[in-house]
Every structure is written in C-alpha cells, then in structure tokens.
Amino acid sequence: MLDTEAKIAAKKTLLRKIPHALYICGVKDGENANGFTASWVMQASFEPPLVVNCVKNDSGSHAMIQSSGVFTLSFLELGQKDMAQKFFKPQRRVGNKFEDVEFYFGETGCPIIKDSLGYIECNVVGTVEHGDHTVFVGEVVSAGIHRDGKILDLASTGWNYGG
C-alpha cells in the first residue's frame, strides 16, 4: 500500500502525463475582446461536432464566455511557444494581449489568430460547473485552415498545467 504522500505525488505525476495541445481561446463581451492560452480542450461528439473547453472560474475570460455564449480556438503550431506564453498572463495585468498580434474577428465576433494552423468557432451549448474550472461544451459552427503543420503541445514547452 502507498502512503498518502506517495498517492498524492503519483496522482500529480500521472495527471501531468495527459497530453494537451495548446490553443489561443478568443472571447468577447460586447465590444471587448480577449484571449487566453487553453490546454484543457478535447473533441466530445461527432454529430453535432462538439468540443469541451475547461476555463478557470475566476478569470475574466470565463465571465466573457458566460456572457456571450461563444468562443474560438486558434490552433498553435509547434514552435509558437512565445505566442502561448503571451496569452497565459491575465488581461488585468498585461492589458491588450492582441496589441502586436495579427488577428481578425470570426462569425461569432471572437478573435482568431492569423498566424495559427487554423481555428474553430463555437457556440456554448452546455456547461459543467465543478471544481476550479468550468467545462464549456461548444458546438463547432465554423472552422478554417490557415496552413498545415504540427500542433504545439504542452509537453514540448517544458511547462506543467495539471496535477
């Protein structure tokens, strides 16, 4: 039998081994736009096409998704660690994260990063609120490919978000 400390360490180690790609999640609330680096994302259904996006409850972006009911995911390419890093910081500390990033607004009105592999746009169709993140279930209503390439994943950055 493992002692309590060993179980906690094992849980943290194994949860950090779950693979995560990195995306810039674009959000809006009226005329205000923001973005954050998202990693707890996965496809959840073929028909209709659904994804889940887990967002920290106390973030400004969480409130924006709740208010607008929409979000985008711009898929980052391997080698775009600097872009991911830029969007990890809270807007209230750094201001306009899009200031020197080329983007455009999609059909949902949320920002899409031009220099990404592509994007999906989602309408929120459900939520699960447990723990310190909310699971937003988004129906994919639009998508586009900018170029082909390999997706940036959390493991390749040397960062940890989980455990």
Q: Is the pLDDT of residue 27 over 80?
A: yes
Quickly tell me which residue has 């400004």 as its tokens. Answer: 60
- 97-125 pLDDT, tens digit per residue, is 888 899 999 999 999 999 999 999 999 99
Instruction: State residue 161's pLDDT score.
Output: 75
In a domain, 34, yes or no: yes
What CATH number does the domain containing 59 carry? Answer: 2.30.110.10
Strand ordering across the sheet containing 118-130:
32-38, 23-29, 70-75, 118-130, 133-145, 50-56, 41-45
Question: Would 101 be classed as within a structural domain?
Answer: yes
Query: Has residue 162 been placed in a domain?
Result: no
If one counts the domains in the chain, the total is 1
For residue 137, tell me if it sits in a domain.
yes
- pLDDT 10s digits, 48-75: 999 999 999 999 999 999 999 999 999 9
- Domain with 91, as residue range(s), is 4-157
Per the domain annotation, does 88 fall within a domain?
Answer: yes
Could you tell me if 97 and 32 are in contact, meaning their C-beta atoms sit under 8 angstroms apart?
no
Confidence band, pLDDT 50/70/90 cuts, at residue 46: very high
Q: Is residue 151 part of a domain?
A: yes
More confident residue, 140 or 18: 140
